[in-house]
Amino acid sequence: MNIPAIFLWALFPVLGACFGSFFNVLIYRMPREMSIIKPASHCPNCKHKIPFWQNIPILSWLFLGGRCASCKESISIKYPIVEFLGMLLGFLAAFLAGPSPWQDASLIRGISLFWLLTTLIPIFAIDFKHLLLPDTVSIGGVALGFAMSFFDGGIGILNSLIGIAVCGGGLFLFSVISSKIIKREGMGFGDVKLFAGFGAIMGAELSYISLIIGSFLALIVIAPYRIKAGKDMQAPLPFGPFLGLAAPISYLFGEWVVDSLFKFN
């Protein structure tokens, strides 16, 4: 399913900023076990309900001078930063799907890249600090990937279902077995659901390449940090950010890796 890439270039940055606004809510509320639906967006200081014209990503913060319209309390700059980051990642997804705005681009490829890139924001922000992964991202990835499999350009319904089962089931089984061996909790269930979502979007083969890449990234980043800082090497590891970062890499270059391995053999 191909469309002119200019549509992705125009849509994805705006959509990315909107996702960033939602991610701000997710990052704030999920660790506090608050509903992401109710109450509506409001000032945490005076509880003033924020109308939609004061909740436009990036622009509203600038127009209000970084302060609540009601109580004038300062609003953290982290909110527009997250929205701006979402906009940049949306643009990156559009660029990777169609490097020139004047060429055709795969809509399914664009949506997949948009999801894999923009959801890195809540994955990093929440998992690194709280060792939690939002179901909105993990289960959302499963639903999105399976829905896209029905359309031309997707990986196909059967491959998506196999990806969900093999990735989610395989990692869950690994978690159970490793927990029995090391006598403590292994892979978190949030990681299992996140990996199942990757399986739904890009199939089992590319997803397992992302698992290998993510494990390598975690090893070279976390191990030296914990050794230098004198941290407990057996403490729980925020694996989601590394797995999430590896997913778009695998999506973009995984087929080349597989082809190269087969040629080598």
Band (pLDDT 50/70/90 cuts) for residue 186 is low
Residue showing tokens 């050794």? 227
Contact yes or no for 126/111 (Cβ under 8 A)? no
Give the model confidence (pLDDT) of 78-105 as tens digits.
Answer: 999 999 999 999 999 999 999 999 999 9
| Predicted confidence (pLDDT) per residue in 34-55, tens digit | 888 888 888 878 887 888 888 8
What predicted TM-score, i.e. pTM, was given to this entire model?
0.92
Burial of 48 (0-12, 13-18, 19+ CB in 10 A): middle
